[in-house]
Structures are given as structure tokens and as C-alpha cells.
Amino acid sequence: MRLTTIALLLIGLCALLAAPLLRATTVLELSFEELVAGSAVIVRGSVVGQRAVFDGQLPHTEVDVAVAETLKGRAPALLTLSFVGGEHEGVELSVAGQFVPPPGSIGVFFIDDLGTPLVNPLTGWHQGFFPLFTDPFGDTWLDLRQRPDFRIAGLPTEPLVAKMQDLGFSAAAIERRVPELGLFAWEDFRAALRAEITRLAEAR
């Protein structure tokens, strides 16, 4: 039996208040440095599975990530991330602003804390996933076309993007006019990540 939206919201609110380990936060815009510092684990991988589960309090969506490379922390070869929300046996819960990487997604996952249940395990929610794609020539690229204002230390800044932003162009409009902007070589992004991780370690 499908519960009403109001009933679901009440159940979800009660469950959230009753679960001391489950914490939700206001999603703030994070810089590259803040994303790296705030992530216990950073991996490159692909989503190979997704399923709905019920933990006795709330529906969750579990996402299996096949890890190709661990850049920070420690992670198993198959990493399971749990996101609050989804539908399980007629019980549905939607979380405003929730982001769940869909099956087949390939990218870099910035993970807050593997040992603590969270509404969204990615650091900064959607900000904690950076999509990658491989072109017909076999080169892998970081795709930031939907985040043209995001700055990564060590990667070049395109002055045209800043100018178009100053003029009020949206991310979609910028991509339509200059579609190659926002694409960065994966090797460059990996080098920038490693440099920032090293800088944080040395600053301790």
C-alpha cells in the first residue's frame, strides 16, 4: 500500500529525529580545497549496481561503485554507498536536493565518511561527484561543463568563462556557445588532487 505524502513526511521526520547517527546538514557550496579536506575517501570508479532497501526506519538507495583507483583514504574494490530516499515495496521517500549517481556513471567520488550513516554520503552531495568520460581516441576527461564557475588549483582558468558569467550567461548557455570549455584532462585533475592531498598532509 502506498502511503500518502503527508504520512511519509511525518514518518521520515520522526525517523530522522529518532536516529542519533543519521545526520543531515545544510548543503553549502564548497571549494575544491574544502571538498578534498572534507572527504575521508576519494575514489575513481563506476556505478555498477543500484537497489532500494529498507533499514526498518526509512527507504534507502544503495549504490555499488566498482573502484578503479583510490586517491585518498582506503576503500574496497566494490564500495557500497547508501543514500536516504527511494521506493521500497510501495513505501516512497523523497529527499529535497538529494543526488544519487545513476547506474553507469563514471567519475570521481568524494566521500564524507564511510563509517557514519548520512543522508548523502558524498561530500557536499552533488558537489562530491565529478563525471568522467572517455573520447573515441581513448583519452579520459573531467567534465565540468555544468559547473563552469568551479575553480581547481593547478588547472587552467578560461577567461572567457568568467566574462560570460559576469554578463549573466547560464552554464547551459556557456556550454552551447563554447562546448569544449569545462573539459580537463583526467591526468591533470589527478595531479591537482594529489597535490592538494599532499599539501593538507604537510600542513598537519
Same domain? 7 vs 85:
yes
Indicate the residue among 100, 131, 162 that finishes a domain. 131
Mean pLDDT of the chain: 82
| Full pLDDT tens readout for the chain, 204 residues | 444 343 444 444 444 443 433 444 467 889 999 999 999 999 999 999 999 999 888 999 999 999 999 999 999 999 999 999 998 888 889 899 899 999 999 999 999 999 899 999 999 999 999 999 998 899 999 998 788 668 787 776 665 566 666 777 776 776 665 556 678 889 999 999 999 999 999 998
177 in the same domain as 98: no
Q: Please report, in angstroms and rounded to a whole number, the separation of the first and last CA atoms in the chain.
A: 54
Share of the chain above pLDDT 90, in %: 54
Range of the domain at 100: 1-131
Q: Which sign, positive or negative, has the C-alpha torsion 139, 140, 146, 152?
A: negative
On whether both 179 and 115 belong to a single domain, the answer is no
- Do both 78 and 36 map to the same domain? yes
Question: How far, in Å, CA of 52 to CA of 61, rounded?
Answer: 5
Domain boundary among 102, 131, 160: 131
Of 131, 159, 192, the last residue of a domain is 131
**Do both 149 and 171 map to the same domain?**
yes
Do 6 and 79 lie in a common domain? yes
| CA distances, 11 to each of 27, 59, 100, 102, 168 (Å) | 23, 11, 22, 26, 42
| Same domain assignment for residues 120 and 154 | no
Number of domains in the chain: 2
93 and 1 in a single domain? The answer is yes
Question: Same structural domain for residues 179 and 95?
Answer: no
pTM attached to this predicted model: 0.78
Q: Are 143 and 181 in contact (CB under 8 A)?
A: no
**74 shares its domain with 164:** no
* CATH number for the domain that contains residue 90: 2.40.50
> How deeply is 24 buried, as exposed, middle or buried, from its count of CB atoms within 10 A (0-12, 13-18, 19+)?
exposed
